């Protein structure tokens, strides 16, 4: 089914477009023929997931292929703990389906409203020093490339797989992907509210010990409500933090007071009904304290004292995808947000200066201020990705203005 001149806005409402053609295929055969038609009739073509990226990855005046109707598991190998999943499947639907086969994702992020292909395409992650991004679990993929050819990429084609795991939708339309999963597990969630010095003093050892460890710094009185974080009545803005740890437990373990035990996929996602515009950078894990302290100091300056969204700190294991922000290094991620409608850009730019100076790489789905030449120097695999991209999309039909600025030299 194709719609003409239908307008689109992302979750954050900071990106919008009116593509000439919007395709919403309901079967795989339709996705292939729609994508081929789009390649012929539009100047450029972009795959669309759930629209949860803050960066302009999707907007185009050409064609958009919305994959949200191509959902579900297509194959499950319980012995190898692998499943094949259609690209448009929402992570929120995946949890119960995998659970019914005794399987689960090894980790998840703060929400589960993204499509699995969209989340993998940007290197979406949760927290856990021993756990990689979602895309690091991709073992196979079937996509239709920029020349209209259907390709299968498995572990026997590692060069292509390393490009396809975090592809920004620039290699083709992902019809189906296979993930390495783990046995279904329960998590106990432990939340506490230490002050900043205590968090910093224990962060490295907690990150090394806990399955999931993360914390949020809450600069202002209104900070908790912006991310819907419960806080005790006596908390102090600018000092008290929100610290979260998960450990794997047996299903029948009785929850202790104030602590929750549940199926993993029900523990991970938080609730975000207040809009925000987020920037997030990955840095070497060894820079965790310096990076978080640098951003906290910015929040204390008169210039940025009005910024109220929490500062979030998470850990991610290194991987080998060419464009993964955690490629080749165990990482810590630092994220901050601006309030829609307010002039938060000077704050985000100052955060960029601090984090870029410490070796930061951008989360592709979030706001950032890197130029194409800078990205080439901070991603060792950038030119390897570019070679695969040119093989898959020789006419560069899958790049929009944003990606052309980042990808094409000169």
Ligand X SMILES: Cc1cc2nc3c(=O)[nH]c(=O)nc-3n(C[C@H](O)[C@H](O)[C@H](O)COP(=O)(O)OP(=O)(O)OC[C@H]3O[C@@H](n4cnc5c(N)ncnc54)[C@H](O)[C@@H]3O)c2cc1C
Which residue ranges make up the site for ligand X (CB under 6 A)? 11-12, 46-53, 57-58, 67, 87, 109-111, 114-115, 117-119, 121-122, 124-125, 168-169, 173-174, 272, 363, 365
User: Which residue number, 212 or 363, has a Cβ lying nearer to ligand X?
Assistant: 363
- Is residue 348 within 8 A of residue 147, CB to CB? The reply is no
Instruction: Give the SS3 label for residue 128.
Output: strand
Q: Which is nearer to ligand X, 289 or 402 (CB)?
A: 402
Q: How far is the CB of 136 from ligand X (least distance, A)?
A: 12
CA–CA gap between residue 409 and residue 376 (Å, rounded): 10
Rounded CA-CA distance 164/168 in Å is: 9
Helix (H/G/I), strand (E/B), else coil: 144: strand
Instruction: Please state, in angstroms and rounded to a whole number, the distance separating the CA atoms of residues 304 and 298.
Output: 6
* Cβ proximity to ligand X, 141 vs 354, nearer residue: 141
In terms of DSSP bridges, do strands 361-362 and 277-284 run parallel, antiparallel, or are they unpaired? antiparallel
**Are residues 303 and 117 in contact, defined by beta-carbon separation less than 8 angstroms?**
no
Q: How far is the CB of 288 from ligand X (least distance, A)?
A: 17
CB of 250 to ligand X, least distance (A): 27
User: Which residue's CB is nearer to ligand X, number 105 or number 121?
Assistant: 121
Whose Cβ is closer to ligand X: residue 120's or residue 299's? 120
The residues facing 280 across adjacent strands are 335
Judged by beta carbon, residue 57 or residue 181, the one nearer ligand X is: 57
CA distance 217 to 219: 6
Provide, rounded to whole angstroms, the least separation between the CB of residue 385 and ligand X: 14
Residue 335 to residue 337: CA distance in whole angstroms: 7
> Pick from 75, 94, 91: which is nearest to 83 by CA?
75
252 burial level (CB within 10 Å; 0-12, 13-18, 19+)? exposed
* Other C-beta atoms lying within 10 Å of the C-beta of residue 75: 10
Nearest to 135 by CA among 317, 267, 369: 317
Q: Return the half-sphere exposure (C-beta side, CA atoms, 13 A cut-off) of residue 191.
A: 14
d(CA 362, CA 369): 8
- Which of 118/284 has CB closer to ligand X? 118
C-beta closer to ligand X: residue 117 or 261: 117
| CA-based nearest residue to 94, from 117, 66, 110 | 117
Q: Could you write out the DSSP letters of every residue in 308-375? A: -SPEEEEEE--B--TT-TTBTS-EEEEEEEE-TTS--HHHHHHHHHHHHTTT-EE-TTSB----HHHH
**Residue nearer to ligand X on the CB measure, 89 or 307:** 89
Residue 102 or 141 with smaller CB distance to ligand X: 141
- Shortest reach from residue 134's CB to ligand X, in Å: 8
* Whether the Cβ atoms of residue 181 and residue 140 lie closer than 8 Å to each other: no
Identify which of residues 98 and 323 has a Cβ nearer to ligand X in the complex.
323
């Amino acid at each position: 089914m194709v719609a003409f001149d239908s307008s689109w806005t992302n979750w954050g409402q900071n990106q919008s477009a009116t593509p000439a053609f919007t395709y919403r295929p309901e079967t795989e055969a339709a996705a292939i023929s729609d994508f081929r038609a789009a390649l012929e009739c539009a100047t450029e073509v972009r795959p669309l997931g759930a629209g949860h990226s803050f960066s302009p990855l999707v907007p185009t005046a050409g064609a958009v292929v919305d994959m949200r109707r191509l959902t579900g598991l297509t194959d499950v190998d319980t012995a190898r703990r692998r499943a094949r999943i259609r690209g448009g499947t929402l992570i929120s639907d995946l949890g119960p389906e995998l659970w019914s086969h005794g399987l689960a994702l090894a980790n998840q992020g703060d929400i589960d409203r993204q499509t699995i292909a969209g989340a993998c395409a940007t290197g979406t992650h949760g927290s856990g020093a021993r756990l990689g991004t979602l895309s690091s679990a991709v073992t196979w993929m079937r996509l239709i490339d920029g020349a209209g050819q259907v390709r299968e990429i498995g572990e026997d084609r590692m060069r292509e797989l390393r490009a396809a795991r975090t592809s920004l939708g620039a290699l083709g339309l992902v019809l189906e992907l296979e993930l390495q999963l783990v046995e279904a597990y329960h998590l106990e969630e432990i939340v506490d509210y230490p002050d900043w010095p205590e968090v910093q003093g224990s962060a490295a050892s907690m990150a090394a010990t806990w399955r999931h460890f993360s914390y949020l710094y809450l600069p202002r009185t209104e900070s908790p409500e912006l991310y819907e974080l419960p806080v005790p009545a006596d908390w102090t803005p600018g000092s008290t933090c929100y610290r979260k740890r998960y450990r794997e437990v047996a299903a029948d373990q009785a929850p202790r007071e104030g602590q929750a035990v549940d199926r993993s996929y029900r523990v991970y996602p938080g609730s975000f009904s207040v809009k925000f515009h987020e920037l997030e950078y990955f840095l070497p894990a060894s820079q965790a304290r310096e990076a978080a302290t640098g951003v906290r100091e910015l929040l204390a300056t008169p210039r940025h004292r009005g910024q109220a969204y929490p500062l979030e700190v998470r850990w991610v294991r290194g991987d080998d995808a060419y464009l993964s922000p955690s490629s080749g290094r165990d990482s810590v991620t630092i994220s901050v947000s601006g309030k829609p409608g307010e002039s938060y850009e000077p704050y985000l730019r100052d955060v960029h200066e601090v984090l870029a100076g410490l070796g930061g790489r951008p989360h592709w789905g979030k706001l950032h201020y890197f130029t194409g030449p800078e990205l080439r120097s901070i991603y060792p695999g950038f030119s390897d990705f570019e070679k695969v991209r040119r093989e898959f999309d020789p006419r560069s039909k899958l790049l929009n203005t944003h990606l052309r600025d980042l990808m094409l030299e000169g």
